[in-house]
Amino acid sequence: MGRLVQICLVLSVALAASAQKAKPNVLFVMADDMGWDDWSSHGSRQVLTPNLDSLAGSGVLLHRYYTHALCSPARSAVLTGRYSHTIGMQGRPLLHGEARGIPTTERLLPQYLKELGYRTQLVGKWHVGHAYRNQLPINRGFENHYGARTGFMDYYEYNSQEAWASGPVSGLSLFRDYTPDFEAEGYITDLYNEEAKHIIRSHNTSEPLFLMVTHHAPHNGNEDASLQAPPEEVRAQRHVELHPRRIFAAMVKKLDDSVGDMVATLKEQGMLENTIIVFVADNGAPTVGNGANSGSNYPLRGVKGSPWEGGIRVDALVWAGPEVAEGNDWRGNIFQGKMHASDWLPTLLEAIGEKPPTGIDGIPQWKHILENQPTRQEIFEIDDFTGYSSITLGRHKLIVGTVNAAYNLHRGGDLRGIIGQPPNYQQAVLNSKAYAAITAAGVPIDVEHLEENKEKATVTCGEGVAKECIPTADKWCLYDIIDDPCEYRDLSDSLPGLAEVLRFRLAQEEERVVPRTDKNDPIGSERAMSKNFNYTWETFMDLEPYTA
């Protein structure tokens, strides 16, 4: 009998050790066109995000997180660990009639994780290749995909419409793997949320899960109904002065609620304690210009589609359960080190105990984040298609080339109006599902500390533009983005030697640019027409036209 007890004890210890070594789950959530001032962790009193703030307050807020200025390039960087300009994915996002995409020779994050035993699921927007079946998520490492292959859609009808030379062209954008979903009903953020929760609840916890949820919110829909949210949610934002901004705030509220639901579902399934959660925006908000959505990057300069801080410095956080990262000393930190979208692939591999690949642009930052030790020095934003480039090296940033004139300005200050009193911030956090789930998992959240962090993460810019600079091919603009985060004071005349050094280093990186392939038929071609495929946006380079 004693021998049996000994064996049972040994087995129980072995099982416990095995459980401790289980690879962590990864939930990666991406918002679409959400600006710096659209997150209450950055100080907004107007747009409250209590679930995201609960994660940031008990994880790490990435204060100098950079991305590419546009959607397809940013997603390409996350998935490949490479700058988009090194794989031909820089510049304007993919349109519906384009056959361009991430080269199939590139190995993507879900492919790495799938080979390591992860179940890999994608819910939401793809937007890095859709003309051929071998470009689709389920052929690039994801086991399943429910969502849109392209860039935007109506939040209730799931169609996306583009203006082609022949006139407006519209088609269904919502697919489950290869099959268009004509039967779906509801608000798209809710559909994605329910799908994500179903995946979590159905998951076999003996295997690690990689779940990527790439919401459309708060990207605009089609031009005829660009901002969409449930009426009751819009009404709940009546403290927001301007009506378009009020709808936008409701869209962000639904996104934040979805994050809370997913965190709560992970806790219900006993998975949260061994999960890494990442939240990022893909790029800055388009306050003006193409796809304008009333998002705000205030007080940062510029918008989506520009190399200014407002286009490329965005919202981001990382959180880990107590079984993933021990102790609480790192929790609630504001990481001041630079991080780029291309860093996620090596960082997540490092976080799960695997050796990151070499020969990519991304830097593994997991240990640096937990230890609050900055490491990355350089960040590039190169868009030869549009015609601008920038380099950030240390505390200085140089911009060259031509930027859309409307995108050069400081935008969003006029969107901040509040009527009466906004909802109570601390109470919103205490009432959030993420707060309840995280604290139930044994991770403390100090609401007073969240308030303090809001103050610390609020960017202040001083007196206003002191020396304006509009870049061209021959005119370079130089800034100290530590002392001057809003890019008010051009230093190119006072520090010409430094400007020359940065321009030389930028020119070196520009030599690595891989031209966009643009191998498709002309945009708007008959071949890609949605009417050829029962009015859906199909893999038009592979399939024959639909016949009834």
* Average confidence score pLDDT of the chain: 94
Residue 165 is predicted with a pLDDT of 84
Residue 546 is predicted with a pLDDT of 62
DSSP alpha helix (H) spans, 43-177? 50-58, 71-80, 109-115
Residue 3 is predicted with a pLDDT of 52
Question: Is 89's pLDDT higher than 50?
Answer: yes
- The string of pLDDT tens digits covering residues 96-144 is 999 999 999 999 999 999 999 999 999 999 999 999 999 999 999 999 9
Question: Is 547's pLDDT higher than 90?
Answer: no
Question: Is 292's pLDDT higher than 70?
Answer: yes
Element at 505 (helix H, strand E): helix 496-510
The residue-averaged pLDDT of 499-520 equals 91
Q: What is the CATH number of domain 23-377?
A: 3.40.720.10
- The string of pLDDT tens digits covering residues 314-360 is 999 999 999 999 989 999 999 999 999 999 999 999 999 999 999 99
Q: Which of 59, 114, 50, 140 is CA-nearest to residue 426?
A: 50
Residue 384 is predicted with a pLDDT of 92
The residue-averaged pLDDT of 231-235 equals 98
The residue-averaged pLDDT of 419-428 equals 96
- The string of pLDDT tens digits covering residues 431-481 is 999 999 999 999 999 999 999 999 999 999 877 777 789 999 999 999 999
Query: Residue 499 — very low, low, confident or very high, per pLDDT cuts 50/70/90?
Result: very high
DSSP alpha helix (H) spans, 21-94? 50-58, 71-80
Torsion of CA 329, 332, 338, 340, to 10 degrees: 110
Residue 2 is predicted with a pLDDT of 55
The span from the CA of 319 to the CA of 331, in Å, is: 8
**pTM of this prediction exceeds 0.85:** yes
- Report the residue count for the chain: 548
Q: How many CB atoms lie within 10 A of CB 2?
A: 6
Residue 462 is predicted with a pLDDT of 77
Query: Residue 313 — very low, low, confident or very high, per pLDDT cuts 50/70/90?
Result: very high
Highest average pLDDT, of 12-16, 263-267, 464-468, comes from 263-267
Residue 15 is predicted with a pLDDT of 44
379 alpha-carbon distance from chain centroid: 17
Share of the chain above pLDDT 70, in %: 95
Cβ neighbors of 158 (< 8 A, separation 6 or more) are 148, 172, 173, 174, 181, 184, 188
The catalytic residues are: 71, 127
Residue 6 is predicted with a pLDDT of 54
The span from the CA of 74 to the CA of 331, in Å, is: 27
User: Lowest mean pLDDT: which of 36-50, 118-132, 393-407, 517-531?
Assistant: 517-531
Helix pair 50-58, 243-268: axis angle to 10 deg: 50
The residue-averaged pLDDT of 282-311 equals 97
Question: Is 183's pLDDT higher than 60?
Answer: yes
Residue 11 is predicted with a pLDDT of 44
The span from the CA of 191 to the CA of 156, in Å, is: 10
Residue 545 is predicted with a pLDDT of 72
Domain boundaries, the chain: 23-377
